[in-house]
Amino acid sequence: MTDVFFEILSPLPLNRHQDARRLFQLWADNAFHFLPNRWGLYEPLRHHFSLSTLDEAIRTWEYAYHVKRTVSPKLSGSIFMQYGPHRDHTTWTICLKNIKDFEQPSFCQLLECAAAIFSADLGFIHKITDAEVSRGRANGSISFLDAAHTETDLFIVTHRLNKFLPDIYWTTVFGNPYVQLFSRERLLSCPAYRVKELDNGSIVVQLTPELKDITAEEAAFERVRQEARNHLNNDAFFDLAKGLDYPYRVPEFVWGPLFH
């Protein structure tokens, strides 16, 4: 069961060892207590992870890299790098098991820094609400991980963004493609608890003061969320009524240089 989802979608390949060092250094600088202690290329993750043995841990840094933290605060994470000749976003996800372990300043800082450093096109911190599951499942961003449909998962990938923007989340970082899509002014004027423009031009929109507001006042959160979507909506967000095949407005992503 995952409560908090953190994801960065970067157009950079991030498939170099220096990218890996940078990523984990960023992780340590902003959310040190949430550093993983296991890593692996496939499950089960058996290798011990620590910054002191980072070189050994990232010796094979290719395609997908999985980490997890087996002690409190428990979390799991994945880095799917760009792989092969085809371009899509590098995704960095952190899934915190329990919302009680969530440290908002750390994660928010990590999100903003990562979005700035890795030139993220999109980033978010979110907790799935019951109200959005059906919509999320419809657009493919949310799925169940178990047969009982109790464990939901939020994951956004490039081929979804090429069709629509699934939603706006508790904290969302709009990168340059979306700033151009929505316009900077519209994003900065979004009705939200906090709107911040980063140094690289990305804009952070935080809907409510705290993440736990989602569960505490889910209906209120959904209202704010709907208002923000309506404010920004430029026929870019997924709409259940329009469906998957509707030609939404999507940005054109600019891919960074490919390093191999």
Six-digit token string for 28: 């340590």
Do residues 37 and 47 lie in contact, with contact meaning Cβ atoms separated by under 8 Å? no
Do residues 9 and 256 lie in contact, with contact meaning Cβ atoms separated by under 8 Å? no
* Interaction of residue 46 with another protein, rule CB under 8 A: no
Identify which of residues 134 and 189 has a Cβ nearer to another protein in the complex. Answer: 134
Residue selected from 29, 55, 130, 151 as contacting another protein according to rule CB under 8 A: 151
Alpha-carbon torsion, ordered 83, 135, 187, 227, to 10 deg: -170
Interface positions, 157-196, toward another protein (CB under 8 A): 157, 159
Identify which of residues 42 and 219 has a Cβ nearer to another protein in the complex. Answer: 42
* Interaction of residue 95 with another protein, rule CB under 8 A: yes
- Cα–Cα dist 33/24, whole Å: 12
Residue selected from 22, 28, 74, 83 as contacting another protein according to rule CB under 8 A: 83
Report, in Å, the least distance between residue 8 CB and another protein.
14
Single-letter amino acid, residue 38? R
Identify which of residues 36 and 116 has a Cβ nearer to another protein in the complex. Answer: 36
- Cα–Cα dist 232/216, whole Å: 25
Phi, then psi, of 16 in degrees rounded to 5: -100, 155
Residues that bind another protein (CB under 8 A): 2, 41-44, 60, 62-64, 66, 76, 78, 80, 83-86, 88, 91, 93, 95, 137, 140, 143-148, 151, 153, 155, 157, 159
